[in-house]
Structure 1
Amino acid sequence: MSLLRSLRVFLVARTGSHSAGSLLRQSPQPRHTLHAGPRLSASASSKELLMKLRRNTGYSFVNCKKALETCGGDLKQAEIWLHKQAQKEGWSKAAKLQGRKTKEGLIGLLQEGNTTVLVEVNCETDFVSRNLKFQQLVQQVALGTMMYCQSLKDQLSTYSKVRWLTSVILALWKAEAGGSLEGFLNSSELSGLPAGPDRDGSLKDQLALAIGKLGENMTLKRAAWVKVPSGFYVGSYVHGAMQSPSLHNLVLGKYGALVICETSEQKTNLEDIGRRLGQHVVGMAPLSVGSLDDEPGGEAETKMLSQPYLLDPSITLGQYVQPQGVSVVDFVRFECGEGEEAAETE
């Protein structure tokens, strides 16, 4: 008797009414474990945490997974860990890229009440300047500068309270009329400012993060800030302007200008006048304000009020301003990348 036949006989004897063939074909019953439910729940929870961490930070799936594993699933600690790692990588990349030319970038202009700031952040290519992460860096620099400027609110009362950061800071002060305060920050001063209300560390830390993410050399070049009391107005203009992705009162572009004006009465068209004056400063690049008593100049004139008015060259800017009831006190002009070519030649 063959082995298979002997097995069939044995099974029939043991099972009675069931056929050996049907028993051989029956599938084994699944084995249930006590922890099957909780394991599925934990997996779903981990996936949800992972997705949330990616949304919050923008880092890769692999890095977010590693962060959660390192921090035992603690979302907040995982975010902190990711930022620290990104800063380390950013500083390392920044050191490698240091010295590469940064001729491109953006000007950012931010206005809040009587305070206006103008900042310049540079990168290597125009392609990166159009990247959202780079624009967010410019936004952080503008916010950091604004916070610094607003912290000086008690220093508008007397000249003696103005603190000079370095020799490059310029203060414009008119104590008798109530005064306006204006200052400049160079690259190193700007880098040392706090990053803002929703960021840890300094603006230099934010710069390193951006370099790590975008892979280009970048610089925080400069910033200007202006605070004016009642009776003064700051006109502004940004050429090629585009709105910030998340801050409604921040405008980005390649050229920017602030024009500080004094006016004896509140006018409804001050904003339009200020914009036109800003356009003139951007287009004509004056070097000083000059006086209404100066003789009209030609295209090579560098005194603002003596220059042919950009929007109507038949008159000077002074002739445009005088009937408007405002007087130009000072101006600031930023052109993205200016000075880089001269520095490269030297």
Structure 2
Amino acid sequence: MVVTAQLVKELRTATGAGMLDCKKALEETNGNIDEAIKWLREKGITKAAKKSDRIAAEGLVGMAMKGNKVVVFEVNSETDFVAQNQQFLTLLDQIGATLVNSNVSAVEEALQLDVNGQTLDALITNAIATIGEKITLRRFTILEINDNQSIGTYVHSNKRIVAALLFDGVISEEAGKQLAMHVSAMRPQFVSREEMSQDFLASEKAILTAEAKNDPKNAGKPDNILEKMVEGRLNKQLAEISLLDQAFVINPDQKVSDFLKANNVSVKKMIRYEVGEGIEKEQVDFAQEVMAQVRK
């Protein structure tokens, strides 16, 4: 029997389970809704699915290293209390070990990885059923260190912020950690201005231009003066979000670019994860995506 979108929608409404789980259940039960509900219950999915609409914006970040690979990742829960639960901490370690032993690049792929005979997705689902809160693997990045490369990492003591920098060139462990600490504290959005797109630069300039023109203190000023003011403010703003332009947090009299030059390295990749950042927007985007699929 062909599993239709309408059947998936009906099963999802009845159980709260995810669309992929509903589709799988219907395929396994030849499209029988009642049997599909039973199948989901037997798999322990519906118990976890009841929590699927909650927002999991707490949790912890993690980092795992093996050989020439490093993975940084974020696992979310609904409350910070559960994030300190020993079972959650064990799950965090299992996820890190699974990811660092893989070559996947997307969460969907990662959830299908084998963990002692079951998928990572099933492992997380079982943890949800036991712990009683929604838990999600939100994101991860795997960095591989080639010859003449090195890495700097830092996980904040509360495990809510992790930073990793991949360098071209060899830097000491301490210096690499200091730079990762800087990224954690100063939140640069880009490694350098060269990474900023023309659309981003144009948008930022347009915002500053509008602000300048709407400021009563600038009334009557010639356009060329306003243009110089905007350029000055834009340069200052870009310097604040560009890693290479920032004052080094360990030595504010020195720019990060100068510290890197002194250590004969350059930054190839920068990762910074903070628990929960941007999660509300992701929830809105996901809801819109689900509705679009249901309407098909």
Q: Does 1:129 align with 2:93?
A: no
2:128 to 211, 230, 240: 211
Q: Residues 297, 327 of structure 1: CA spacing in aligned structure 2 closer, same or farther, 3 A cutoff? A: farther
Residue 298 of structure 1 and its aligned partner are, at CA, apart by 6.2
Q: Does 1:320 align with 2:235?
A: no
Question: In the alignment, residue 114 of structure 2 is paired with which amino acid?
Answer: P
Asked if 2 retains the 8 angstrom alpha-carbon contact of 1:90 and 1:210, the reply is no
Question: In the alignment, residue 271 of structure 1 is paired with which amino acid?
Answer: E
Asked if 1 retains the 8 angstrom alpha-carbon contact of 2:193 and 2:238, the reply is no
Q: Which residue of 2 aligns with 1:110?
A: 64
Residue 189 of structure 1 and its aligned partner are, at CA, apart by 2.6
Asked if 2 retains the 8 angstrom alpha-carbon contact of 1:234 and 1:261, the reply is yes
User: Which whole-Å CA distance do the structure 1 matches of 2:277 and 2:42 have between them?
Assistant: 31
Q: Does 1:193 align with 2:113?
A: yes
Q: Which residue of 2 aligns with 1:96?
A: 50
Q: Which residue of 2 aligns with 1:147?
A: 101
Asked if 2 retains the 8 angstrom alpha-carbon contact of 1:239 and 1:254, the reply is yes
Asked if 2 retains the 8 angstrom alpha-carbon contact of 1:299 and 1:307, the reply is no
Q: Does 1:276 align with 2:193?
A: no
Question: In the alignment, residue 185 of structure 1 is paired with which amino acid?
Answer: A
Residue 271 of structure 1 and its aligned partner are, at CA, apart by 0.6
Asked if 2 retains the 8 angstrom alpha-carbon contact of 1:105 and 1:254, the reply is yes
Residue 221 of structure 1 and its aligned partner are, at CA, apart by 0.7
Q: Which residue of 2 aligns with 1:9?
A: none
Q: Which residue of 1 aligns with 2:208?
A: none
Residue 108 of structure 1 and its aligned partner are, at CA, apart by 0.8
Specify which structure has the higher proportion of helix: 2
Question: What are structure 2's unaligned runs of at least 5 residues?
Answer: 1-40, 195-231, 286-296
1:74-93 alignment runs, 5 A limit: 88=42, 90-93=44-47
Residue 300 of structure 1 and its aligned partner are, at CA, apart by 6.1
Q: Does 1:239 align with 2:160?
A: no
User: Which whole-Å CA distance do the structure 2 matches of 1:219 and 1:289 have between them?
Assistant: 29
When Rg is computed on C-alpha atoms for both structures, the one with the higher figure is: 1
Q: Residues 303, 330 of structure 1: CA spacing in aligned structure 2 closer, same or farther, 3 A cutoff? A: same
Q: Residues 272, 298 of structure 1: CA spacing in aligned structure 2 closer, same or farther, 3 A cutoff? A: farther
Q: Does 1:260 align with 2:166?
A: yes
* C-alpha distance after superposition, 1:166-208 (max 9, x if no partner): xxxxxxxxxxxxxxxxxx423x23212222xxx2211101001
Asked if 2 retains the 8 angstrom alpha-carbon contact of 1:98 and 1:217, the reply is yes
Residue 99 of structure 1 and its aligned partner are, at CA, apart by 1.0
User: Which whole-Å CA distance do the structure 2 matches of 1:344 and 1:313 have between them?
Assistant: 38
Q: Residues 345, 312 of structure 1: CA spacing in aligned structure 2 closer, same or farther, 3 A cutoff? A: farther
Question: In the alignment, residue 194 of structure 1 is paired with which amino acid?
Answer: D
Residue 255 of structure 1 and its aligned partner are, at CA, apart by 0.6
User: Which whole-Å CA distance do the structure 1 matches of 2:283 and 2:253 have between them?
Assistant: 38
Aligned residues: 207
User: Which whole-Å CA distance do the structure 1 matches of 2:68 and 2:266 have between them?
Assistant: 17
Question: What are structure 1's unaligned runs of at least 5 residues?
Answer: 1-86, 150-164, 166-183, 242-252
* C-alpha distance after superposition, 1:278-325 (max 9, x if no partner): 111111221221179xx9856962211111212222221112221112
Asked if 1 retains the 8 angstrom alpha-carbon contact of 2:76 and 2:136, the reply is yes
* C-alpha distance after superposition, 1:184-242 (max 9, x if no partner): 423x23212222xxx2211101001110110001111111101111200011011125x
Q: Normalized against structure 2, the TM-score is what?
A: 0.64
Residue 113 of structure 1 and its aligned partner are, at CA, apart by 2.0
Q: Residues 291, 133 of structure 1: CA spacing in aligned structure 2 closer, same or farther, 3 A cutoff? A: same
Question: In the alignment, residue 273 of structure 1 is paired with which amino acid?
Answer: A
Residue 118 of structure 1 and its aligned partner are, at CA, apart by 0.8
Secondary structure class of the residue paired with 2:125: helix
1:217-228 alignment runs, 5 A limit: 217-228=134-145
Secondary structure class of the residue paired with 2:98: helix
Secondary structure class of the residue paired with 1:110: strand
CA RMSD in angstroms comes to 2.6
User: Which whole-Å CA distance do the structure 2 matches of 1:258 and 1:104 have between them?
Assistant: 21
Secondary structure class of the residue paired with 1:97: coil
Q: Which residue of 1 aligns with 2:221?
A: none
User: Which whole-Å CA distance do the structure 2 matches of 1:185 and 1:99 have between them?
Assistant: 22
Asked if 1 retains the 8 angstrom alpha-carbon contact of 2:239 and 2:245, the reply is no
Q: Residues 298, 324 of structure 1: CA spacing in aligned structure 2 closer, same or farther, 3 A cutoff? A: farther
User: Which whole-Å CA distance do the structure 1 matches of 2:53 and 2:94 have between them?
Assistant: 23
Q: Normalized against structure 1, the TM-score is what?
A: 0.55
Asked if 1 retains the 8 angstrom alpha-carbon contact of 2:246 and 2:255, the reply is yes
